[in-house]
Amino acid sequence: MKRFSLGNTAIYISASIIPCMFFVGSAVGQIYKHYNTANVDIHHGLAYLREILLYSFTAGLITMIVGFYLSLRSLGSAERDKGVIALKLIVIQIVLFVILGIIRTIYPTT
């Protein structure tokens, strides 16, 4: 049995960012459309779009931050293989790039 590794966990969490966003977006959309408290015409595909995107991006951002944190924590572990360290640095750079892109998209500067 394989031992628990922060690096593997960071890779799995980083790979699950998009599916997590899709799942949360679908769940929030179904909840809002089921209760329909604002009496919105839910037959249109864009009903409650703002709420769906807000929760979806928030879930993606939280997943990215957790993946980034675990990636940083795993760099100091006992693994000294250069290929593993290079893969971890690539994952860290990609996650950081996407986090900054989403933050800039959600909160644009004027």
Furthest CA-CA distance within the chain: 58
The answer, yes or no, to whether residue 103 has pLDDT greater than 90, is: no
Helix (H) or strand (E) holding 37, with range, is none
**What pLDDT is recorded for position 64?**
83
| Sign of the four-CA dihedral 77, 79, 85, 87 | negative
pLDDT tens digits for range 13-72: 888 988 999 999 999 989 988 888 888 887 877 888 888 888 998 998 899 888 878 877
**Which of 70, 54, 66 minimizes the C-alpha distance to 102?**
54
Contact call for residues 66 and 6 (beta carbons, < 8 A): no
User: pTM for the complete prediction?
Assistant: 0.69
pLDDT at 110: 58
What the block records as the tokens of 94 is: 């990609």
Q: How does pLDDT run across 72-101, given as a tens digit for each residue?
A: 777 765 556 777 777 777 877 887 788 788
Hey, how many other C-beta atoms are within 10 angstroms of the C-beta on 87?
14
Domain ranges of the chain: 6-106
Residue 104 has pLDDT above 90, yes or no: no
